[in-house]
Structure 1
């Protein structure tokens, strides 16, 4: 009763356009004259989730083998009990051409370790959340968007910390001015590295001043940053690394909108569908591949026991490379 293209379109309306099952039913009825029950929509989602299982697992392995990755997480809900939604978290591990999502009840380091794998040895860009502190500081890059907010907090709280915060913001502004010139090719990277030595030294000195002389909260945050001081400057010395985690944050932003309209997922099975369809939609978008064509081809292969098309960047949507 349900062809591959119709099933793929249904799942795309949920996974990319964030429509509820009821809105999907109405959309297909209005646009195509197709009448579906909510149960039929749920069954199509489960079938797509099963079909995506192997390609997503391969995408996870691909991320673990890369030289650099970005990690981020956001709040989620899974299931409901005693009148309230159960708290969960949606994570993303992203590289330039592949992004993998995972929904779990934990925001702890074990999730980050599972996403990256025990053999990951690339550069990792994150915020200061403690779940990432197990990773080698020399291979981390702290997000300067988050550090900017920290420094602004120094200013907003006033006192001696406000002066220090303003000086930190001045150094931050100098750094980004030069960084933008490196990116547009008007400043040589070698010159950037030389100039940044002074910035690195001054920022370190200011953070130490805040640690011992600023107000309690400001001093505490300065102390936390100093524990990861080395990770503030990795991008200066590693070509291709960005100073912010904005890439991962951009990828996870649609998920925040999804959560706000859907209130999360109702079951572990629903979470598996969402994390897998988000992985497919986001990854194919990064590769500029047609999502509807891929999902249709995937279901065609899945239903017939054929090798499954890959999500990896060197594959094409019509070239099967995964066993069922």
Structure 2
């Protein structure tokens, strides 16, 4: 606006113009303050180290491994004793080969006493072909009452689906344990077994298997709830067009999976019902905390990675000492079977005293402050494993249980239907429990069916 235009305005118009400009200046000032704070936050983040699987909860699949330096090759490897495949403990058949003639002079040696000097196995697969039994039911007319009668179907070969339990177990094993898609599974059954099965028939096999696996998963859950310790974790999974969560609850020889659209406490509450285990092992996720009747045990491996990140970020006062403390605690956990109860109590008093000393230190970096607040929040859940021997110091068992599920998710991209996701959780419950009991996957599936 020019000077002439301003001089032509009356007093009231000038006042309104000045007020409007003042409001605009105030809005711009607030916007500048927001942008300045944002720039400062971004500049602070630029100075932070990148989060990797070694210093955070970033999955190993998202970590980048540096290229190896060609100049730092290990050189020639040391020689080691040779190894060979051991002989099969229970061969299908045996062949004793006796010499007929002397390899030097050609003399007939068939009647000479001979001793074994070498044995080896020759392994071969038989021809794989489906075993098809044609069942024909007959009927007739009773000569006594003159009424029609008919033969009943054999109990081991009922009418309906033509596929027996071994075929269904094989399909479930390949689908769940090896994440084979339905299209590839149908082609594999045709090429490998010589059995033509449509994708729809494969889906029907899985659908018919829901009830026995749900029943077995319920038994596993009941055994877990009867124990004193529970360990838990969760991972995301795609169901239809939504993000769901696959939870694992396990301890010892039992492991149960449930899939739900929620990551909240309602999932844990539904799994536990009225039961509250004495001890609970998990990370510091809020939905998994507060369920133990006696004490929680937070995962020391997660805290150790957080301490590593705080050290890399620049905290040189609090985080290094905490890292050493957690490393020592994990080492004690590995040695725990060989330690007496009195020794464990002594170690716990030492760790508690050292932790109290560390918590009096003022961190020199914001990441150190965050780490210190986290430790203060779970202060009484760090060394529960030294009181109860059945409690592990880390939640690595849950991550190992979920690892096949993460591989399945990456290969298949999730599930089309909700019932498919629930069936997968039940089958994984059976397979993981069987693995912990040294039972083969196919044997466990056959027994469940």
TM-score over 0.5 for the alignment?
Answer: yes
Question: What is the CA RMSD across the aligned residues, in angstroms?
Answer: 1.8
Alignment match of 1:206 (pick from 358, 364, 377): 358
Alignment match of 1:266 (pick from 416, 419, 427): 416
Tell me the secondary structure at the aligned position of residue 163 of structure 1: coil
Q: Counterparts of 1:81-96 in structure 2 under 5 Å?
A: 86-96=242-252
Which deviations, in whole Å up to 9, do the C-alpha atoms of 1:6-40 show, x marking residues without a partner? Answer: 01110111111221112211221121011111111
Contact 2:230 2:277 in 1 (8 A): no
Stretch of structure 1 that moved more, 286-295 or 166-175: 286-295
> What TM-score do the two structures reach when normalised by structure 2?
0.61
Structure 1 residues 294, 174: closer, same or farther in 2, change over 3 A?
A: closer
Alignment match of 1:101 (pick from 226, 241, 257): 257
| Map of 1:111 onto structure 2 | 267
Total equivalences in the alignment:
288
Contact 2:257 2:429 in 1 (8 A): yes
| Map of 2:204 onto structure 1 | 43
- Alignment pair present for 1:125 and 2:281: yes
Shift of 1:223: 1.4
| Map of 1:224 onto structure 2 | 374
Which of structures 1 and 2 has the bigger CA Rg? 2
Contact 2:319 2:368 in 1 (8 A): no
Instruction: Quote the Cα distance in structure 2 between the aligned partners of 1:218 and 1:257.
Output: 34
Structure 1 residues 60, 165: closer, same or farther in 2, change over 3 A?
A: same
Stretch of structure 1 that moved more, 289-298 or 193-202: 289-298
Instruction: Quote the Cα distance in structure 1 between the aligned partners of 2:252 and 2:272.
Output: 15
| Map of 1:313 onto structure 2 | none
Contact 1:138 1:231 in 2 (8 A): no
| Map of 1:164 onto structure 2 | 318
| Map of 2:391 onto structure 1 | 241
Structure 1: where are the runs of 5+ without partners? 81-85, 300-324
Structure 1 residues 177, 298: closer, same or farther in 2, change over 3 A?
A: closer
Instruction: Quote the Cα distance in structure 2 between the aligned partners of 1:208 and 1:288.
Output: 48
Stretch of structure 1 that moved more, 289-298 or 120-129: 289-298
Alignment match of 2:333 (pick from 159, 179, 183): 179
Shift of 1:137: 8.0
Instruction: Quote the Cα distance in structure 2 between the aligned partners of 1:207 and 1:44.
Output: 58
Stretch of structure 1 that moved more, 61-70 or 117-126: 117-126
Instruction: Quote the Cα distance in structure 2 between the aligned partners of 1:216 and 1:257.
Output: 35
Instruction: Quote the Cα distance in structure 2 between the aligned partners of 1:117 and 1:64.
Output: 9
Alignment match of 2:216 (pick from 48, 55, 60): 55
Shift of 1:245: 0.9
Contact 1:207 1:223 in 2 (8 A): no
Instruction: Quote the Cα distance in structure 1 between the aligned partners of 2:448 and 2:333.
Output: 42
Instruction: Quote the Cα distance in structure 2 between the aligned partners of 1:33 and 1:238.
Output: 54
Instruction: Quote the Cα distance in structure 1 between the aligned partners of 2:410 and 2:360.
Output: 40
Contact 1:127 1:143 in 2 (8 A): yes
Stretch of structure 1 that moved more, 259-268 or 133-142: 133-142
Alignment match of 1:73 (pick from 210, 213, 234): 234
Contact 2:304 2:327 in 1 (8 A): no
Structure 2: where are the runs of 5+ without partners? 1-161
Tell me the secondary structure at the aligned position of residue 5 of structure 1: helix
Tell me the secondary structure at the aligned position of residue 361 of structure 2: helix
| Map of 1:30 onto structure 2 | 191
Contact 2:304 2:326 in 1 (8 A): yes
| Map of 2:300 onto structure 1 | 144
Shift of 1:208: 4.9
Contact 1:64 1:117 in 2 (8 A): no
Tell me the secondary structure at the aligned position of residue 209 of structure 1: coil
Q: Following superposition, which runs of at least 4 residues in structure 1 exceed 6 angstroms of deviation?
A: none
Higher relative contact order (CA 8 A, sep 6+): 1
Instruction: Quote the Cα distance in structure 2 between the aligned partners of 1:32 and 1:200.
Output: 61
Shift of 1:173: 2.5
Structure 1 residues 174, 290: closer, same or farther in 2, change over 3 A?
A: closer
Alignment match of 1:190 (pick from 338, 342, 352): 342
